[in-house]
Structures are given as C-alpha cells and as structure tokens.
Amino acid sequence: MTCNPRYEILFEPMPIGPVTAPNRFYQVPHASGMTNALPRVRAAFREAKAEGGWGVICTGACSIDPSSDDAPLPFATLWDDNDIRAHALMTEAVHRHGSLAGVELWHGGASVMNRASRLPPLSPSGIPWMATHVGFMGNLRPKTMDKADIKEVLRCQAEAARKARTAGFDIVYVYAGMGYLGYEFLLPEYNHRADEYGGSIENRVRFVREMIEVTKDAVGKVCGVALRVSLEELRGRPGRNQPSEAHELIELLADLPDLFDVKMDSSPTDCSASRFTGEGSHEPVIDFVKSLTKKPVVGVGRFTSPDTMVSQIRRGVLDFIGGARPSIADPFLPAKIREGREAEIRECIGCNICISSWHDGVPVRCTQNPTAGEEWRRGWHPERVVRADRPERILIVGGGPAGLECALTLGRRGHEVTLADSSRGFGGRLTFEKTLPGLSAWNRVVDYRLGRLGEMSNVSLYPESTLGVDEIIDLAPERVVLATGARWTDMLYSSMEIPVGRLDHPAVFTPDDIAAGRLPQGPTLVFDFDNYYMGGVLTEHLAAQGVPVSYVTPAGQASAWTIMTNELPLVHRALARRKVPVATLHLLKAFDGETATLAHLFTGEESRIACRSVLIVGLRLPRNALFEALSARTNDLTTAGIKSVDRIGDALAPGAIAHAVHSGHKLAQEIGAETRRSPYRRDTPIVDAVADFELRTAAE
C-alpha cells in the first residue's frame, strides 16, 4: 500500500532554522511523567514515536534552574552533567530513526512553589499564580523580580540551551505560555511593572524577546530556536495597531524565532476533552499567525484525521501538524498514513487519562494505547508483539474493552481465540456509554479493535452467546479469560467517606438501570460519589430526556475527579446550561419515595429535597458469578484440559476504561509464558558514579 496522493503534502521536509524536519508531523512538547528519574523509560517512550514517523519529537517542560522547581510533581531538568547524559538517551533514540529532537526549556515563575530547592518563586510583580490553589507552607508568595533576577534567568536560559545542544537536541524552546514565567510577563494581570518590562505590549514582550535572543546566541547556528506561546487571552485584548494584542505580539517577534508553537492559555482549553471539544478547536484563536510571520508555525487540535491535517496546511493555518495526545494513542500514526493504512490508526478518544497521569505524578497512561510508558519497563511495542512459542486455544468471555484488547493481542501472538459475549454486539460498557452526551468518540476503543479482529483468521467472534460453566467445559479451551465487567451498586456513602449500607427502594436506580432503558420518574436526585465522569454525564443525559434532575455529591465539586482530566470547569458549565441544581459536600441519608434527606459532610446538618427517584452513581463491584462457579468445578476443568481461568478488566478490579484495556493487554502478553506476572523493569536516574562516591566520602 502506498500513500494517498492527497496526503503527500504531510511528508514534505520542512526547515526550522538551521535544521530540517523530515516531514510535517511534529510531536509538540507534552508531559510524560517520566522525567530524569526514569531516563530509559522516557527514551523508549519517545523513540516509539520517532520509529512511527513523527518528524520532530520534543520533551515536556524541562527546568533551566533550581529556581524553577516543581517537585513533587514530575518535571525534567537540565541543571548539570547528569541531566545531559539522561537526555542524551532520548536524543540518541530519536536520531536512530531520522527524527529531530526538541527540548522545551522552562521556567515556571510564580506557578512553582520550589518545595525542594526552597528558593523564592519568581514573578514579574509578585503576583501569585492561581490564588485559589493551595500553596506551600503558609502559601508562600513569589518574589518580585529585580533587574538582577531577570539577568540571572536569561543567563540560566542560555546555559540550559548550551547543555541542550551538548545533549544532542536539534530544537531548543523558549516557553511563554500556560501561566509560566514568560507568559506572566506578557499579561498585565501578572505584570504590573513600570519599567521597560511592563506597560505597553512592546514592553511586556521584552523579556520573551531577550529569552529568544540569548537562546539564539547560545545555539542558533546549530539548533532551531522555537517560541511556544499562549495566545488565547491576548487574542481577546484589542490591540492599538492590530485587531488584538496577540496579533501585535506575533508582529513584534515575527522574524526572531525559527518556529512559532502556538497554543491556548489553560489546560481545559488547550487540552480539552472530546466530551466538550471537537478536532481542530484551536483554530479560531491561532488562525492569524501565519499571516504575520514567514517562519513555520505548529499548533495542535487533537488531530486524528489526515484530511483535517491537510486542510490545516492548505488553508494556511499551520505548517506542522502538532500532536500530543494523538501521538500517545498511536505513535505510528504518520507511518500508517504514509503507507496507506489510515484505517489502522488507533485514534485518540480525547478522554484525557494521559493528562491525569501527569497530575498523579506517574508515567503517562492511555486508554487506546496500553503500551504507552511500558516500552522499556515491560518491553511492549505499540505495533509488534512476540509470537507465542506454542499457540493455545483460548476462550474469552466478555467483549468489552478488556476482552477486545485481550483478544486482539492474543490473536497477534498467534493463539486461536474465541471471543463470546451475551449481548447482540461487542463493546461492553461502551455500548451504552457511547450514547451519552459527548462520549461518542470513546467508541473508537471498540471500533479500532473490532476492525483489526475482523482481519484475523485465528479469532472467532460470537455475539449473543451466553456461556455457563457447562458450556465452557464442553468447549474445552486450554485457557479461559473472563472479562465479565462490573455492576453498579445502590450503596450509600458514610461520613467516614467509604461506601456503606444499601438504599433499598423501588425508585432507587443505578447506571445499569439507565443503560437497560429504565428512565426514572422526575424529579430525580443524582447522588454521585464515583466522582469521575459518569455522575455528571448521566445528569446531563436525564436532563436532555426532559427529566427534572438535581445533583448531589459529598465531594467539593461536581464530578470532582475530572479536575485531573481538565474537564472540571466544563462539567460545571454543562450542568449550568441544563439548569441543574448542584449541592456539594452533602451525603444522602434516606429516601422515602417523595423526599430525600441530605446531611452536610462536615457538620451533619440535615436538609430535605423533594424527589420521586434517586440515581446512585457510586460503588462498582466485579461480576464474579461465573468465576466463582468455575472455581467450584476445578476438577471438571482439569479433566477438560483447561489450564487456567483468569479475570481481566472490571471483572478483576473495576476502574476506568484505560485500566481495563491495559489489563487485557497485560494478560495477553504474559499468558502461557514462564515469566508471567514477573515484575516490570525498574528504571533509575543516571548519576556520575565518581562524583557520587566523592560526595559520599566527603560526607563521611
């Protein structure tokens, strides 16, 4: 298969100052949660994308100095020789496949607390970042930078750029976005200065200009220098000589950097979830940039369609197709387009589990790509698996995300797989969830796997097939895998913040009831202590069906955990649009069919709300009846030649779809192997052993 002629423009080489990218696919800087503490994990994660055809592969935020210390959150550093060696692993891995390596040099300014370095945070005017967030040790406020501080940061930027060149990077960034130091100089809310760095847009741009200049002086003859800048707020500010201050900023810097990397200002808009935002959502903010500069421009928009990518280029919006989330979901997206295999692209579903990983301080996870972050740790490749030494006959019961992924990976390993599900089609929980407001893109998890399974002669799919113990024994597979999912319960929630007791009433519903087509009678109270998307999206769903509904949660916000996926403000806006009353910090104590009794989580003060139905979105438990029945017939299983019965996904431990997919993939990789369930490899920082010995000797 060859590249569709429509897409050939995506594979044109593109110059970035003194270096040339092999194509227009540009993995923009994004957090990976790997940092210098996991250098081999990081290198292998980025290398997979280079192997998959991304022309430029960038790090995430990389601190230039201990005055920009984001501990304990994961962040990379370029402070010393050990850091250079750690990053060199990544640049060497990327260069092996002919791609360019970029580094996003970063100073967090007032957005960091410097918990480890204990240096005062820096700010143009002493204004803290996001004052509603909990600070550190009595809410430490940033220091107002004087001229000496500015000079020192410029020195650190230049020194970090030189270290980046030594580490092998081809593109070096200046970062002026997302609330970090350069951005703080650009916005008058942060910048109250009366000197040459404050006031007019020309003055507010000065610090960023000087950061670019010192970077170019340090590496500009051998490395491309990129400016990453947020434009959303500035686009909304009228300019004096241009339609907006964003226009004026680009005009003022038009000839200085070798590349403009343009983005939004906050995570909920920059990395918005598919539930609320479609592909290419940045365009209305950044569409003007190319009209004001001759330098190449890269931007993102959760691009997964090659037609959309080509449109961005031909209409003069972008020169490079930026990808963060799509590059995680399918590191081989460019290669598949180049080879005419667009149908095989594992499209990002926009669930933002990857972003939650960074907030959790762990290596990136992905719902679509279970190998993300596991390339070095477990030796998993996003496109290749090791063939089984001896193929086996394996029966999988349950065709949801875990079962589908397990079947796909087992099939690729050469096993003879039978996948059975009692429903009319495959998809498990997504059969219903894909119909809920904003979640249609999530069914890409099912579509991708069914598409690939349909191409395999060694995998048989049997919908509408209910299997019990006797049927499984009669089939006599060598191994059985149960992906029977989980069920929602009607358990309540205590002031100790644990599920306790049941609310037993005919008008009490769970999400399983809604999925089965039972619509509660309004007014309905939704009591949500699951705290992820389900409670909020079901509230929207009921409201859209015309059911009067109110939302109650013991958490501090609606769908509180969605702060981890950048959705929290958008959830509240969605509920407000539906005119849904929201009560936080409340427990549901009782319900009699006409009134629900609530109690404040902290004070215990009771209140009542009139409702005729209650929908509890709380505890999920595995559907284990079949597993327990099989466990009771071990002798019969042995006689039938069944070697093992395993559970995967929600049947093992209920969680997000990403966990289910990973669980199915892990079992499929390990099943039948002697090293099954062996620990993953543990990475360690790269340390100069001689220097470390000298330090320890001196301390002793």
Asked if residue 416 lies in contact with residue 392, where contact means CB atoms within 8 angstroms, the answer is yes
Q: Which amino acid is at 305?
A: S
Closest CA to 326 of 252, 375, 362, 274: 274
Position of tokens 């592969």?
57
Tokens of 683: 């990475």
Show the DSSP H helices in 168-205 as ranges.
Answer: 181-186, 201-204
| H or E element in which residue 568 lies | helix 568-577
The gap between the terminal CA atoms of the chain, to the nearest Å, is 65
Closest CA to 257 of 312, 210, 291: 210
Tokens of 560: 């509180």
Tokens of 58: 């960038």
Distant-in-sequence, close-in-space partners of 9: CB < 8 Å, separation ≥ 6: 24, 310, 313, 314
Rounded Cα gap, residues 577 and 583, in angstroms: 16
Rounded Cα gap, residues 26 and 307, in angstroms: 16
Rounded Cα gap, residues 129 and 116, in angstroms: 18
DSSP state of 107: -
Give the C-alpha distances (Å, rounded to integers) separating 545 from 39, 319, 540, 548: 51, 44, 9, 9
Rounded Cα gap, residues 418 and 393, in angstroms: 8
SS3 readout for 400-439? CHHHHHHHHHHHHCCCEEEEECCCCCCCCCHHHHCCCCCC
Q: Which amino acid is at 510?
A: T
Asked if residue 482 lies in contact with residue 627, where contact means CB atoms within 8 angstroms, the answer is yes
Distant-in-sequence, close-in-space partners of 2: CB < 8 Å, separation ≥ 6: 339, 340
Task: Give residue 438's region: left, alpha or beta (phi > 0; psi -120 to 50).
Answer: left
Rounded Cα gap, residues 351 and 658, in angstroms: 9
Rounded Cα gap, residues 226 and 224, in angstroms: 6
Closest CA to 378 of 358, 363, 356: 363
Tokens of 544: 């859209």
Q: What residues are labeled active site?
A: 180
Asked if residue 87 lies in contact with residue 103, where contact means CB atoms within 8 angstroms, the answer is yes
Rounded Cα gap, residues 252 and 190, in angstroms: 20
Rounded Cα gap, residues 171 and 32, in angstroms: 18
Pairing of the two strands 171-176 and 224-230? parallel
Rounded Cα gap, residues 528 and 525, in angstroms: 10
Local structure of 145: helix, strand or coil: coil
Strand partners, 596: 591, 609
Closest CA to 422 of 413, 414, 431: 431
Rounded Cα gap, residues 368 and 327, in angstroms: 11
